A and B are shown apart, each in its own frame.
Chain A
């Protein structure tokens, strides 16, 4: 049986894709078999699909849709072994994903996250500024994706300071004090893309304040959906934050609550990278066949971390494109890719749902 322990001390971006795939074919066969035996719902799906649990190529690894975690409690361990339940932050009215973590999976998430991020910020802990409110981590029993993200990244820092107050307003005094205290150090800044934009950047812009974050490293994630509505993409985001704060090291990451820990970090070239802990395939929506680099399709995510729930291979609702493998100019091995946004919702046809209101 594959054990992550054997991998955890390896450098996260040193394995060439070909060797990685050999490793993954064996590891994912083991992990798939584990979930097949331990999760009754997962077994039913695999049986229905008529899939094997022993693979010859990566493309054979079956995937389940992320939405399934919103509708079912999928576990591959006894419920008594669950130490943490993570919830996606769905907007009001939407159902949320529930992800069940046992001790091993939870610990691996933290270790892997640390491992990946240290490739960007170094292994030394840095003073950390969180662009969010402390309320987000208050209830530790039910982790929202936002809270879990903040807590996960907090492991990488010390003197963790929250830049926003309970009302999600910028607490300028606190931020300036923090900056004064750590003025000669590198600092880690973490937050969610939309919150940084809406509650941090826009306030600075409105008040016409320039902060001095030249020695900061910003890591942010959580999706662009809301920002794209305001025509803010990654390059606009970087440029505007840079002009307001002097920040030059800004890294976006891509990841989902279903695969917490094994995130995909944006490199210095602007591409998202898979580490040794995860991989990505792009599939044609017309038949789910695997697409070569350069073609856009649905993103399938593979992660070696999920043991307590069957989230090791999921098909997302995001559209992406693999750029290449092993040859990014940043020097990291493995696949690197770009995200092109979320799939569009379709117009519902048919007989039901007549009496809708005009919004």
Chain B
């Protein structure tokens, strides 16, 4: 059982207290806001933008807002004990997963990535520091961070008796973890492979002034290049819509994005080869590829005259996009399946999307956010209201 199992927070043989708290319990909110303070004050933590965005998210004011927005007509308590499998490749997600579940009122064991991310070490160190304070004794009983390899026995140990299991990291991971049983009543939240795309208005681009365009390019860069386009919410397909001149709008937009990418992105030779290989594969496989536009090897844009029925095979890495012009977004509706997660946009209003999603009775698209917010994880994610899903309703009549 000890084979390869390490505790980053907590220790072997510790007694976890699975008795749930109410969502947004004051002690939990206080603890997380103190964690935020500690992260901001830590010189190492400040070197990691993703750690800073977590710290920013769990600051006192934001938690208060979230608490206000969490209106439940019913009495709620956490489900009890939650077991998390955090993703191996997005360093900070383990902290969000823990915080969401703690806010729901649960006690948590989080399996962190086996990769040696500095972010993991920093967050765990600061959490351990806070948990040593007597004030947070109750939180300490609700917190363990572990690291171990691919071991069904250990997964089975942590899954037995869990009231919720939270699996990040895609289809293969989910089916691998699901081979290990969890109790019948356990809530399972699985974050599967998703597909995301982006819609841009030609008119809005041509109307945008210098500073708006700069802001947009930075925002787009963050959505795509921070995670090598491999986050489930990073766009692959760029849909253009609007009456203004397409070529002029594309040129204006991509030129500025290119400047952003060249000055910020650390393109590696292997990325260039991977990307080039990918466009050759797509040219062979997809009949609707009609050409390629490129800005060096930093941005590749496959020009499409249509889309395959399974749009989610149109994927890129390291800045490879599929571009399509549509006159009406409803042509996309037929193609939107359950794999679709995030739609980022520029130049449209919320009402436009409300009609699109509802009138077309879409099976997918869980998030519609402005360009720049693709990676902003929150308590509403992937179609779940996570705090609600990880808490239970007590019906008193």
Residue ranges of A at the interface with B (Cβ–Cβ < 8 Å):
41, 44-45, 47-50, 64-65, 67-68, 71-72, 285-288, 298, 315, 317, 319, 343-346, 348-358
Contacts and interface: CB of A to CB of B under 8 A. Distances in A.
B306 to A, nearest CB: 15
A352 B270 contact: no
Contacts of B232: 350-351
Contacts of A354: 85-89, 113, 167-170, 173
Interface stretch (B121-129, B239-247, B273-281): B273-281
A355 B280 contact: no
Contact of A349 (B89, B269, B273, B283): B89
B230 A349 contact: yes
Given A286-B267, A354-B170, A68 B230 contact: no
B269 A319 contact: yes
Contacts of B302: 48
A354 to B, nearest CB: 2
A343 B267 CA distance: 12
Interface in B293-318: 296-298, 302
A72 B151 CA distance: 35
Interface stretch (B53-61, B284-292, B330-338): B284-292
B114 A346 contact: no
A351 B230 contact: yes
A50 B297 contact: no
B26 interface: no
Most chain B CB within 10 A, of A45, A72, A343, A350, is at A350
Most chain A CB within 10 A, of B150, B272, B298, is at B272
A47 B227 CA distance: 30
Nearest to B262: A286
Interface in B88-132: 88-90, 113-114
B277 A351 contact: no
A38 B251 CA distance: 36
Interface string B148-187: 1111000000000000000111101100110000000000
B173 A67 contact: no
Interface class of chain A by DSSP: loop
Nearest to B151: A357
A358 B228 contact: no
Nearest to A44: B283
Most chain A CB within 10 A, of B85, B88, B168, is at B88
B268 A355 contact: no
User: 10 closest pairs, A vs B, by CB?
Assistant: A354-B169, A350-B230, A357-B150, A48-B283, A287-B296, A358-B149, A285-B269, A352-B170, A354-B173, A355-B173
Given A45-B280, A357-B150, A346 B270 contact: yes
Contact of B169 (A68, A71, A298, A353): A353
Nearest to B282: A48
B278 to A, nearest CB: 9
Given A67-B273, A288-B272, A351-B169, 15 more contacts: A44-B289, A68-B277, A285-B267, A285-B268, A286-B296, A286-B298, A343-B268, A343-B270, A349-B90, A351-B191, A352-B172, A354-B87, A355-B169, A356-B114, A357-B151
A145 to B, nearest CB: 20
Contact of A345 (B270, B279, B289): B270
Most chain A CB within 10 A, of B149, B267, B280, is at B280
A65 B176 contact: no
Nearest to A288: B297
Contacts of A65: 273, 276-277, 280
A346 B227 CA distance: 12
Contact of A48 (B148, B150, B191, B291): B291
A47 B113 CA distance: 43
Contacts of A343: 268-270, 273
A350 B297 contact: no
A350 B284 CA distance: 26
B134 interface: no
A351 B274 CA distance: 18
A12 B371 CA distance: 58
Nearest to B230: A350
A357 B111 CA distance: 12
A350 B280 contact: no
B228 A349 contact: yes
Contacts of B270: 317, 343-346
Contacts of A64: 280
B273 to A, nearest CB: 6
Contact of A350 (B89, B290, B292): B89
A287 B269 CA distance: 10
Contacts of A351: 87, 89-90, 168-170, 191, 193-194, 230-232
Nearest to B228: A349
B168 A356 contact: no
